[in-house]
Amino acid sequence: MDKVLARGSGSAVARSRPRTAVLSMLAGVAMVATTVAVATGASAGTTLGASAAEKGRYFGTAVAANKLSDATYVGILNREFNMVTPENEMKWDATEPSQGQFNYANADRIVSHAQANGMRVRGHALAWHSQQPGWAQNLSGTALRQAMVNHITQVATHYKGKIYAWDVVNEAFADSGGGRRDSNLQRTGNDWIEVAFRTARAADPAAKLCYNDYNTDNWTWEKTQAVYNMVKDFKARGVPIDCVGLQSHFNSGSPYPGNYRTTLQNFAALGVDVQITELDIEGSGTTQATTYGNVVKDCLAVSRCTGITVWGIRDTDSWRASGTPLLFDGNGNKKPAYTAVLDTLNAGGTTPPPTTPTSTPPTSNPPTTPPPSGNGCTASFTTNQWQGGFVTTVRVTAGAAPLNGWAVALTLPAGASLVNTWNAQPSGTSGGLTFRNVAYNGQVGAGGSTEFGFQGVGTAPSGTPTCTAG
């Protein structure tokens, strides 16, 4: 599906590029239009997408639905890019403006445009503290957790099979201090990120699932280390994660770091793909072009750096337009930065195996609930029921002795069935069900507790579940 054409023709076309550029400058606008027409059917090596594809990678851009009627914009989009990310149209406020009422109109337009033009789609973003609809901003606790799970399930199901990679969780870490960012989602419990990933996997098993953030480019920064440790922990515990997105919005306050390649390599060495997801670099001229070239070189040097997306097409399309951070000027002309990117892609590079990273092991917090009396365990649950479906969160609490394994039995009402479980292993999908601990949460200290959850269609269970130790 990539717009890869004949290999080997790239260098011949590349050699003709300076001549084309000179002619365009001499002949003016009419010649530019001709150049575009020629490039549309051109060979690999003459556009960002084709050149990246020759290196086994994609080159994408953020797309705004309301610009799909702008002929210059669409001309560049269709010519240069083979991956698109909806800039705002798949965010929570856009897709679920009222709770339980989904609006996919603008996102669908972008996906249809991509499919009709041989481009793939990065989905952005399922769970994020920002750009939430007002109703979600006003939720907290279990109600918010369940609304998040339902949102992810609905949106990822709507786009099932059409998304190359989802930014499942966006920007969940604090800029300093090495911890999580405070947010309504974070206050639902530290496990909200892994619940989001498990839910997304259940809804669209074929999509790559990414964690995406900014200020995670410099390997020495606390935030980079914090995200790295989370990904390492997820891989160790089997939480489904396939990729890490580095937004890479660079400017004087957050410059391109000299150790960027090290960061890409170290994430990749955890067994995930790395994607540069929202690249823009404020500046102009040669300085900007050199930095763009360095970013591309770094990606090409890391075998699991699978692609680069710039956050808009023309400088005037950018969310930071005053910084002129993109590859095309306001008139749609190629900037020096464009040429640097294309030339770097065409020059290629090596893709050595990732280096072994160094890091400190992740830490975990012990449960804090005071011990109840008696051995064994107890279980209780809370449920969010909506028309046709539900999410149930179950708390397992150890008695006076520690648990080494547990099982919770409960019964789904007639007609109900299980669709998705996190933090436990279910047996069966309807009627009497048993949920057993998974590897990492079987051991619960005396009086401690752990939670698991499941989603179903139909009516949620009621009554008190039975908990058995061992």
Beta bridge partners of 426: 435
Closest distance of CB 11 from ligand XIL, Å? 36
Query: Within 304-333, which residues bind ligand XIL (CB under 6 A)?
Result: 319
- By the 8 A CB rule, do 235 and 269 touch? no
Q: Determine, following the binding rule CB under 6 A, whether residue 104 of this chain makes contact with ligand XIL.
A: no
Beta bridge partners of 395: 380, 451
Closest distance of CB 124 from ligand XIL, Å? 6
Torsion region of 141: left, alpha or beta (phi above 0 gives left; psi -120 to 50 gives alpha): left
Count CB atoms within 10 A of the CB of residue 6: 9
Count CB atoms within 10 A of the CB of residue 309: 24
* 58 or 128: CB nearest ligand XIL: 128
Q: How far apart are CA 2 and CA 344, in angstroms?
A: 19
Q: How far apart are CA 224 and CA 228, in angstroms?
A: 6
Q: Which residue is nearest to ligand XIL (CB)?
A: 319
Q: DSSP alpha helices (H): ranges in 41-178?
A: 48-54, 71-80, 92-95, 105-116, 134-137, 141-158
How many binding residues for ligand XIL (CB under 6 A)?
6
Q: Which of 223, 219, 195, 222 is nearest to 209 (CA)?
A: 195
Closest distance of CB 215 from ligand XIL, Å? 11
* 88 or 459: CB nearest ligand XIL: 88
Q: Determine, following the binding rule CB under 6 A, whether residue 61 of this chain makes contact with ligand XIL.
A: no
Closest distance of CB 277 from ligand XIL, Å? 8
Figure out which of the listed residues 170, 215, 248, 449 binds ligand XIL, where binding follows CB under 6 A. 170
Q: Determine, following the binding rule CB under 6 A, whether residue 254 of this chain makes contact with ligand XIL.
A: no
Q: How far apart are CA 249 and CA 256, in angstroms?
A: 9
Q: Which of 193, 271, 250, 263 is nearest to 221 (CA)?
A: 263
Q: Determine, following the binding rule CB under 6 A, whether residue 440 of this chain makes contact with ligand XIL.
A: no
Mask for 263-302, x = binds ligand XIL (CB under 6 A): ---------------x------------------------
Q: Determine, following the binding rule CB under 6 A, whether residue 247 of this chain makes contact with ligand XIL.
A: yes
Q: Is 278 designated active site?
A: yes
SS3 of residue 445 by DSSP = coil
Figure out which of the listed residues 2, 54, 80, 87 binds ligand XIL, where binding follows CB under 6 A. 87
* 72 or 88: CB nearest ligand XIL: 88
Which position among 87, 96, 278, 282 bears the catalytic label? 278
Binding stretches for ligand XIL (CB under 6 A): 87-88, 170, 247, 278, 319
Catalytic residues: 278
